[in-house]
Amino acid sequence: MTPLFAALGFLDPERILRTGGLALLAFIVFAESGLLVGFFLPGDSLLFIAGFLASEAGGHVLPPLPWVLLVTFVAAVVGDQVGFLFGRKVGPALFHRPDSRFFRQSNVEKAHAYFEKYGPKTIVLARFVPIVRTFAPVVAGVADMNYRTFVTYNVVGGLLWAVGVTTLGYFLGEIDVVKENIEIAIIVIVVVSVMPVVIEVWRHWRAARRAQASPVDSGPSD
C-alpha cells in the first residue's frame, strides 16, 4: 500500500480491494449508485484500481477482467434501479428532508439541476460526476421519469462508466510509466471526475455575482 493510499484510511481503494475483493467492490459500486449515504465512496478511483489489480501489472489480485467488468456493471445498474424506485416511493418529500451527517439537501439540488438541464441524458452524464451520480437516479424517480427510458439510459450509463473506467485501469496499468506512478494516475482520475462539479459551482458563483452587479430595475420614470 502506497503512502498516499495509506493516508486515505478506509477510503483507500487499493486497501478496499485487497481486503474485500469482488464482493466489497460490488457493494461499494452499488451503494454509490443507489444509496443516499454512498456519495462519499471512491467510485472512479476504485474502478480504475480494480482494473489495474485485475491485470498482470497489478499482480492479478482480482479475478480476470471479464468477471470484474460483469460485477461492476451489474452493481452499477442495479444500484441506479434501487435509487430510482426509492425516488418514486419517497417523492417530493425528499426535497424537504433535513440535513444530517450523511445527507445534504444541496446534493439533491445539484442532481436536480443536472436533470433539469440535460433531461434523461443526466442518467448517463451523472455517472461521471461524483455526488451527482448518487442522487440522479433518485431525482429521476421523484420526477416520475418514464421507466423504460430510465432503464435504457441506466444500462448505457452503467456500461460506459463501470466497464469503461475499469478497462481503462486495466490497460493503462500495463504501461510502465502509469504502473510506476499509480498514485499520480489516481489523482488525475479524481481531478477529472470532480472537474464538472467545480465548473458548475464556478458558473453558479459567476451568475450570482453578475446578478448582484446588475442595476435594479426602478420601474418607469416619471
> How far is the CA of 57 from the CAs of 49, 64, 86, 104, in angstroms?
11, 13, 40, 40
pTM (two decimals) = 0.71
Q: Which of 129, 132, 128, 136 is nearest to 159 (CA)?
A: 128
C-alpha cell at 94: 425528499
Q: Report the alpha-carbon distance of residue 129 to residue 172 in Å, rounded.
A: 21
pLDDT at 9 exceeding the cut of 70: no
Residue 185 has pLDDT above 70, yes or no: no
Per-residue pLDDT band at 39 (split at 50, 70, 90) = low
Average pLDDT of the residues in 206-222: 60
Distances (CA, A) of 189 to 47, 58, 101, 205: 10, 17, 26, 25
Q: What is the pLDDT of residue 110?
A: 65
Q: Is the pLDDT of residue 211 over 50?
A: yes
- Work out the percent of the chain whose per-residue pLDDT is above 90: 20
pLDDT greater than 70 at residue 41: no
Q: How does pLDDT run across 27-38, given as a tens digit for each residue?
A: 989 988 877 666
Q: How confident is the model at residue 13 (pLDDT cuts 50, 70, 90)?
A: confident
Give the pLDDT score at 131.
77
Q: Is residue 182 scored above 60 in pLDDT?
A: no
Q: Which three cell numbers stand for residue 185?
A: 494516475
> Per residue in 45-91, pLDDT tens?
888 889 989 988 888 889 999 999 999 999 999 999 999 998 888 76
Q: What's the confidence (pLDDT) of residue 1? A: 41
CA atoms lying within 13 Å on the CB side of residue 15:
13
CA–CA gap between residue 107 and residue 125 (Å, rounded): 16
- Min mean pLDDT across 104-118, 127-141, 146-160 is at 104-118
Name the pLDDT band for 94 (thresholds 50, 70, 90): low
